Amino acid sequence: SADEIFNSSTTMSGYTYDDLICLPGHINFGVHDVNLSSRFSKKITLRTPIVSSPMDTVTESSMAIAMALEGGIGVIHTNMSIEAQAQEVARVKKFKAGFILDPVCVPPTMTLEELDALKQKLGFTGFPVTDSGRMGAKLLGLVTKRDCDFIEDRKTRLTSIMTPVKDLVLAKEGIDLVSCNDMLQKSKKGKLPIVTESGLLVAMVSRTDIKKNVEFPNATKDPLNKQLLVAAAIGTRPADRDRVNALVSAGVDAIIIDSSQGDSVFQHEMVKWIKTNHPNIQVVAGNVVTKRQAKHLIECGADALRVGMGIGSICTTQEVCACGRAQASAVYNVAKLAKVYDVPILADGGISSPGHIVKALSLGAGAAMCGSLLAGTSETPGEYFYSEDGKRLKRYRGMGSIDAMKKGSDDRYFGTAAAIKVAQGVSGTVQDKGSIHRYIPYLTQGIRHGMQDIGAQSVQQVQSMLQDGQLRFELRSAAAQREGGVHGLHSFERKLFD
Ligand code: XMP
């Protein structure tokens, strides 16, 4: 049982996911019968137990929207101004399936040459033209592929080739998606701009988006107002109280206090302050890896705990600070203590496959928080570029890397006042993984297969099997770990899903 492995007085070792393997149980249900619903915090339940990390190369509004639509939740990072972070939260809360609320706009003075560069960078072809080149300004027209083809002089300005607003089919603010669909079908147009009475652009609907399935049955929504749920990270400085107030005004549902070592007086005070001043907001405290740290934060009122220290793919904390814990040991031990108080935990970092998520849930986590696993998807901030050998890549960096800390994340490592910034993370690149809307279904299907093999039809069931010792694990030797991966081939190609 997990208790025998993690609390054996003879080994005193720390174990991580790869050190363990779950022994299979008995299957008497289908893979689709596995229910992955699980708790993110005391009051928030997810149908997909996956959370995107508050990192500046992972979660801003596009990622948080996609994660919530797929049944998980995204945590907007805090490496930006208070206003910018509140706006990112507001974007998620305002999201309505099928409506593009922040279409990229262009000014009428832009040249075709500049538009060509923008198209290449963003990969889409139709843009609204507004007087300031921004969203929310007066709509002047639309430029689509048809307007631009066959024009030789690429210095031509958009004002002379765009379809002007008088020739466009427009919808009025407040229209619903079904009516938009009707208008698009009748007019045979590709794009439908939505404007206010005075002609300011507020949204757009695109025929190609409507053709895609806009139904997300697993979406993480507020049952009352149907808005998507979103979380946001903050630090522990006194000024972060202003940040919390702004995030709450923007509609945030959960605040994550972002610190590599959560058991500090700064964090204790912050948890208590939020719970006193914003009692309806869920507070996720951390990070912790020991029962003692966890107990302190639970006593301050935390609604969930984030577990993991120095085990992320981009982390150097254990190397630099000699502190941390192997992740399976941390998750199991903290989850055991937190269960006594009915506080869910998030297994944060070190996850590189659906199998790791199965292990995290099997060791007591309510959900898995992932950085590198989700980095490189199209919803993450940043643009793709190509490596010399033709691979499509995106940047992924630790919040304790020098680059990220220069933008403000040094508070996560208590480094704000220090003259020398000591890196606790690195910057790197990851390969393109396509869209979250294809990737999360692959991960969840993988998790369901794992749960089925264990013989557990729900996260709740696997955790009660953990409790009563029915769930059996075995430690793996180094040779067993090698054997459990692909081996003995001259070469192979890994295709993750189809
Ligand atoms: P993965 O393995 O999913 O880990 O890429 C993501 C988690 O790592 C933490 N994090 C860091 N830890 N130095 C650290 O020691 C860093 O620079 C750093 N940046 C992020 C964080 O908990 C995240 O969710």
SS (H, E, C) 172-220: ECCCCHHHHHHHHHHHCCCEEEEECCCCEEEEEEEHHHHHCCCCCCCCC
- Residue 148 a catalytic site member: no
Side chain identity at 67, as an amino acid letter?
A: M
Computed on alpha carbons and rounded to an integer, the radius of gyration of the chain in Å comes to 24
The distance of Cα 199 from the centroid of its chain, to the nearest Å, equals 35
Of all protein residues, the one whose alpha carbon is nearest to atom 9 of ligand 1 is: 312
Question: Would you call the peptide bond into 245 cis, given omega within 30 degrees of 0 as the criterion?
Answer: no
- In this prediction, the answer to ipTM > 0.95 reads yes
Q: How far apart are CA 206 and CA 99, in angstroms?
A: 8
The distance of Cα 470 from the centroid of its chain, to the nearest Å, equals 33
Ligand 1 atom at minimum distance from 425 CA: 17
Contact 76, 381 (CB under 8 A): no
Please list every protein residue whose CB sits less than 6 Å from any atom of ligand 1: 53, 55, 260, 287, 308, 310, 312-315, 317, 348-351, 369-373, 398-401, 424-425
Q: Label the pairing between strands 20-22 and 473-475.
A: antiparallel
Closest CA to 282 of 307, 306, 253: 253
Per-residue DSSP letter, 232 = E
CA distances (Å), origin 33, targets 23, 201, 308, 448, 472: 20, 45, 31, 9, 22
CA distances (Å), origin 167, targets 47, 162, 164: 45, 10, 6
148, 315, 370, 397: the catalytic one is 315
The per-residue pLDDT string of the chain (498 residues; one tens digit each, 9 = 90 and over) reads 999 999 876 667 899 999 999 999 999 999 999 999 999 999 999 999 999 999 999 999 999 999 999 999 999 999 999 999 999 999 999 887 778 888 899 999 999 999 988 887 776 778 999 999 998 999 999 998 888 888 888 899 999 999 999 999 999 998 988 888 889 888 888 889 999 999 999 999 987 766 655 678 899 999 888 899 999 999 999 999 999 999 999 999 999 999 999 999 999 999 999 999 999 999 999 999 999 999 999 999 999 999 999 999 999 999 999 999 999 999 999 999 999 999 999 999 999 999 999 999 999 999 999 999 999 999 999 999 999 999 999 999 999 999 898 887 777 777 666 678 889 999 999 999 999 999 999 999 999 999 999 999 999 999 999 999 999 999 999 999 999 999 999 999 888 888
Read off the tokens for 154.
């690429």
pTM above 0.90, yes or no: no
Query: In angstroms, what is the span from residue 347 Cα to ligand 1's centroid?
Result: 12
Contact 355, 16 (CB under 8 A): no
Q: How far apart are CA 2 and CA 483, in angstroms?
A: 22
Q: How far apart are CA 229 and CA 233, in angstroms?
A: 14
